[in-house]
């Protein structure tokens, strides 16, 4: 990576603008003064809302979370004291995040490399780029209901849970994980593509000059310097997967406990139904069936801790990446 | 076994460029294929409803809850009369929440972007990036939980008077869940996305343009509004389109706080309008995802999914087209 460090990073944050003397504010028109105040209000309000959400959830979470909740399975009970913890949802969340990221990352990286490095024929590149953009704009609930139709096909039956009568429900960890990868794909793709575009042309040319082929250049030169970008993209995708509820409710069944399908242990688990932290929260809110707000607050606290941790990772990794190449320091993804 | 080993051996050898290009291209096209599959599957399942209902599907008429209730009990080969479905209350609910949230969010995010780029002290500006990222990555189910456990009771108990509840008691119940809470939370959810995009665009406007305007005698805020904001109008429209897509597709959060009644809030009700419950398209899919075994209902649900898919596509494309003029000034990446 040291070879890239010599490239000066472009303006990632707008350089501070000269504001003129403070006193000049009084000479502004009334309307401008109002906008000035409103802009400050909006900025401060955004910070305050974020802070108050986090603090509120932390206070509630600390009040209701106990270590026992993390290691006991949920059980059906009217009383909140007896309805168990959320071990199964945590296992479910981790499983889905792993499946989704494992599928999405290679697909996204390969697509990005093909689009940027080969880019022929142009029309096909256009189609691939447009369709990834379209996937990014598709609501998660539509992806979920598409997955249900897909995995109810007889040919895909081995991937999901079956009723005793042989009917295919199309619901399983595998089904949900595969559909989750569609959520993560655009994020990982964009991060990787921006990273590739930021690698200066002369690095490739140096490799070609040594007689390397395009694909060797990609493997030996481009991929190593892409690592921070791929990592950022994968973590962003993971965050998206962990927070998603609609796909879990529709495609994983959002059952009380993870219920493996009979058969091989691991495969049976992946073919079975279950729940995640997000669906556990949904079910335990007044909108769901459980209506156990204390459990929901405790689970939300765990979920938000995970999200904050992932955000911290993205912040760290992309800060390292900024030194290597440009493009990740931008606010939007 | 030897065949498998031969394949492995072939894969391990350095790839020729042609082969690599074809392989990577094939994987990239796979992602494009998923969006085609999505349209085909959803459209195929939605077809019975559209062929029976035609354009009256979009219209209003009858009680939607009764229509859905009738569908649940239809036989395996339902008669044409079983497909009667008038989605207008859902479409109206979706438009109402999305339009209000996007208009409010647009104002908030433009003001916040001006704040970040022009007014914020450097320390605050550095703080804003992680704050906006964090707010954007909070899962919708967390917003939903806060809404249903904090905002809904507050609105229901403190903002709505007993007289107001009594005045509409024979039509709907005002519990607090409804338009106001939905719009407020939706605004908080989409503002960070728009703020990130608009701030990036604002930051990429050349400083000299702004300085030129200040040199002509405008105060810094006027210069920003007259030059920078004007220059990035395409980016603002593009951000609004993306935010609209997000708002239209939001399912889980709204199903927790919108009241879930297929009622159309009416402007002529005055203040009560803000408290009236509603139901959106995406929400309907979540609520009916258990009842998909009834053919008529399943087809109706997939027809909703098709409408959401279509509007998601349109908004993605609109967002891309709106960004086009920016290239002329090289203001966007």
Q: How confident is the model at residue A331 (pLDDT cuts 50, 70, 90)?
A: very low
pLDDT digits (tens, 9 = 90+) for A114-141: 999 988 888 999 999 999 999 999 999 9
Q: Binning pLDDT at 50, 70 and 90, where does residue A320 land?
A: low
Tell me chain A's radius of gyration from C-alpha atoms.
24
Going B72 to B74 to B75 to B77, the CA torsion angle's sign is negative
pLDDT: which is higher, A79 or B97: B97
Mean pLDDT of B247-257: 92
Contacts of B308 in chain A (CB under 8 A): 139, 141-142
Is B114 inside any structural domain? yes
Q: What is the least distance, in Å, from the CA of A265 to any CA of chain B?
A: 26
Using a CB–CB cutoff of 8 Å, tell me whether A206 touches chain B. Answer: no
pLDDT class for A181, splitting at 50, 70, 90?
A: very high
Is the model's pLDDT at B274 over the cut of 90? no
pLDDT at A125: 92
> What's residue A242's pLDDT?
94
Give residue A16's pLDDT band: very low, low, confident or very high (50, 70, 90).
Answer: low
Provide the percentage of residues in chain B whose pLDDT is more than 70: 95
Q: Which residues of B touch A244 (CB under 8 A)?
A: 139
In the numeric block, the tokens 């909006």 are attached to: A42
Q: Are A61 and A302 spatial neighbours (Cβ–Cβ below 8 Å)?
A: yes
Closest by CA position to A47, among listed B80, B199, B115: B115
Asked whether residue A22 carries a pLDDT value surpassing 90, the answer given is no
The answer on pLDDT for B104 being more than 80 is yes
Note whether A142 contacts B312, CB cutoff 8 Å.
Answer: yes
pLDDT at B333: 46
Percent of chain B at pLDDT above 90? 41
pLDDT of A49 over the 50 cut:
yes
Give the highest mean pLDDT range of A30-39, A148-157, B236-245, B296-305: B236-245
Residue contact B139–A131, C-beta within 8 A: no
Q: What is the pLDDT of residue A287?
A: 78
pLDDT for residue A3:
44
> Looking at residue A45, what is its pLDDT?
94
- Confidence label for A178 from pLDDT (cuts 50, 70 and 90): very high
pLDDT band at A15 (very low <50, low <70, confident <90, very high): low
Q: What is the pLDDT of residue A325?
A: 43
pTM for the full predicted model? 0.87
Backbone angles phi, psi at B57, to 5 degrees: -55, -40
Residue of chain A whose alpha carbon sits nearest to that of B121:
A16
Query: What mean pLDDT comes out for the span B127-141?
Result: 92
- pLDDT score recorded for residue A5: 44
Whether the CB of A31 is below 8 Å from some CB of chain B: the reply is: no
Chain A, nearest residue to B302 by Cα: A145
| Domain membership of residue B281 as a residue range | 89-328
Q: Tell me if A293 and B149 make a contact (CB, 8 A cut-off).
A: yes
- Please indicate whether, in this complex, the C-beta atoms of A24 and B139 are within 8 angstroms of each other: no
Position B31 in a domain: no
- So what's the pLDDT on residue A167? 55
How far apart are alpha carbons B165 and B171 in whole angstroms?
Answer: 10
> Closest Cα of chain A to B97: distance in Å?
16
Task: Evaluate whether residue B15 is within a structural domain.
Answer: no
pLDDT band for A302, please (50, 70, 90 cuts). Answer: very high
What is the rounded average pLDDT for all residues in chain B? 86
- What CA–CA distance (Å, rounded) separates B228 from B250? 32
Note whether residue B255 is domain-resident.
yes
Question: What average pLDDT does the segment B207-221 reach?
Answer: 89
Mutate to test the interface with B, among A245, A286, A292, A319 (most CBs of B within 10 A): A245
Taking 90 as the threshold, does the pLDDT of residue A305 lie above it?
yes
Residue B233, domain member (yes or no)? yes
Query: Which of A187-191, A233-237, B63-67 comes out lowest in average pLDDT?
Result: B63-67
Q: Which residues of chain B lie closer than 8 angstroms to A138, CB-CB? A: 35, 38, 249, 309, 312-313
* A134 vs B contacts (CB less than 8 Å): 35, 312-313, 316
Average pLDDT, chain A: 82
More confident residue, A290 or B147: B147
Closest CB to B256 among A130, A144, A287 = A287
Query: Looking at residue B313, what is its pLDDT?
Result: 94
pLDDT per residue over A238-268, tens digit each?
A: 999 999 999 998 888 777 777 777 667 777 7
What structural domains and CATH numbers belong to chain A? 69-324 (1.10.3720.10)
Q: Which residues, other chains included, contact A85 with Cβ-Cβ below 8 Å and sequence gap of 6+?
A: A68, A69, A70, A71, A72, A73, A74
Contact A138 B312 (CB under 8 A): yes
Show residues of chain A in contact with B219, CB under 8 Å: 20, 24, 27-28, 32
Higher pLDDT residue, B210 or B82? B210
Contact B195 A118 (CB under 8 A): no
Residue A222 three-state SS? helix
| DSSP labels, B18-68 | HHHHHHHHHHHHHHHHHHHHHHHHHHHHHHHHHHHHGGGGGS--S-HHHHH
Residue B151: the pLDDT is: 92
The mean pLDDT of B24-38, rounded to a whole number, is 90
Question: Which of A134, A169, A208 is the best substitution to test chain B (most B C-beta atoms within 10 A)?
Answer: A134
Number of domains in chain B: 1
Whose CA is closest to A8, among A154, A158, A198?
A198
pLDDT at res. B220: 86
Q: Report the CATH number at residue B263.
A: 1.10.3720.10
Instruction: Give the pLDDT score at A317.
Output: 80
For B260-278, what is the mean pLDDT?
Answer: 83
Residue A237: pLDDT over 90: yes
């Amino acid at each position: 990576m040291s070879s890239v460090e010599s490239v000066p990073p472009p303006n990632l944050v707008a350089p501070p603008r000269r504001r003129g003397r403070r006193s000049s504010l009084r000479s502004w028109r009334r309307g401008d003064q109002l906008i000035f105040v409103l802009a400050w209000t909006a900025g401060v309000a955004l910070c305050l809302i974020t802070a108050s959400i986090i603090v509120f959830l932390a206070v509630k979470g600390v009040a209701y979370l106990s270590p026992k909740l993390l290691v006991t399975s949920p059980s059906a009970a009217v009383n909140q004291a007896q309805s168990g913890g959320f071990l199964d949802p945590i296992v479910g969340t981790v499983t889905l995040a792993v499946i989704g990221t494992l599928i999405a990352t290679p697909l996204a990286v390969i697509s990005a490399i093909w689009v940027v490095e080969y880019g022929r024929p142009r029309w096909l590149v256009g189609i691939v780029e447009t369709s990834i953009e379209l996937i990014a704009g598709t609501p998660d609930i539509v992806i979920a209901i598409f997955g249900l139709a897909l995995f109810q096909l007889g040919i895909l039956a081995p991937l999901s849970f079956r009723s005793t009568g042989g009917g295919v429900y199309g619901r399983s960890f595998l089904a949900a994980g595969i559909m989750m990868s569609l959520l993560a794909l655009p994020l990982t793709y964009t991060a990787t593509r921006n990273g590739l575009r930021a690698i200066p042309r002369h690095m490739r040319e140096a490799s070609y000059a040594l007689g390397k082929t395009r694909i060797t250049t990609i493997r030996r030169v481009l991929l190593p310097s892409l690592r921070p970008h791929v990592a950022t993209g994968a973590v962003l995708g993971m965050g998206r997967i962990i927070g998603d509820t609609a796909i879990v409710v529709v495609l994983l069944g959002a059952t009380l406990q993870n219920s493996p399908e009979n058969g091989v242990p691991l495969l049976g688990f992946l073919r079975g139904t279950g729940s995640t932290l997000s669906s556990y929260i949904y079910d335990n809110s007044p909108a769901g069936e459980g209506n156990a707000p204390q459990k929901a607050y405790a689970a939300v606290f765990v979920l938000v801790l995970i999200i904050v941790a992932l955000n911290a990772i993205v912040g760290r990794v992309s800060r390292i990446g900024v030194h290597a190449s440009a493009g990740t320091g931008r606010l939007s993804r | 076994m030897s065949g498998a080993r031969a394949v492995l051996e072939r894969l391990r050898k350095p790839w020729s460029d042609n082969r690599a290009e074809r392989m990577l291209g094939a994987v990239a096209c796979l992602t494009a294929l998923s969006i085609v599959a999505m349209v085909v599957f959803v459209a195929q399942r939605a077809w019975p409803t559209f062929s029976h209902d035609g354009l009256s599907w979009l219209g209003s008429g009858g009680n939607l809850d009764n229509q859905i209730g009738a569908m649940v009990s239809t036989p395996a080969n339902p008669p044409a009369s079983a497909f009667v479905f008038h989605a207008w209350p859902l479409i109206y609910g979706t438009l109402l929440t999305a339009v209000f949230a996007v208009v409010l969010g647009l104002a908030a995010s433009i003001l916040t972007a001006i704040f970040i780029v022009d007014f914020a002290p450097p320390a605050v500006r550095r703080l804003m990036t992680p704050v906006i990222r964090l707010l954007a990555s909070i899962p919708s189910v967390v917003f939903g939980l806060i809404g249903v456990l904090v905002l809904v009771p507050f609105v229901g108990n403190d903002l709505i008077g007993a007289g107001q509840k009594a005045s509409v008691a024979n039509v709907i119940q005002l519990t607090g869940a409804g338009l106001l809470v939905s719009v407020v939370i939706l605004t908080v959810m989409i503002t960070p996305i728009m703020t990130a995009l608009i701030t990036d665009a604002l930051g990429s406007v050349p400083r000299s343009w702004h300085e030129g305007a200040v040199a002509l005698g405008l105060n810094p805020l006027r210069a920003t509004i007259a030059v920078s904001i004007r220059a990035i109008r395409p980016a603002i429209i593009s951000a609004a389109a993306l935010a609209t897509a997000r708002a239209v597709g939001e399912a889980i959060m709204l199903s927790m706080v919108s009241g879930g009644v297929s009622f159309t809030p009416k402007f002529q009700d005055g203040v009560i309008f803000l408290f009236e419950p509603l139901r959106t398209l995406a929400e309907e899919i979540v609520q009916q995802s258990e009842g998909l075994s009834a053919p008529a209902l399943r087809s109706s649900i997939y027809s909703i999914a098709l409408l959401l898919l279509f509007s998601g596509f349109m908004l993605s494309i609109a967002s891309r087209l709106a960004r086009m003029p920016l290239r002329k000034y090289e203001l966007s990446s």
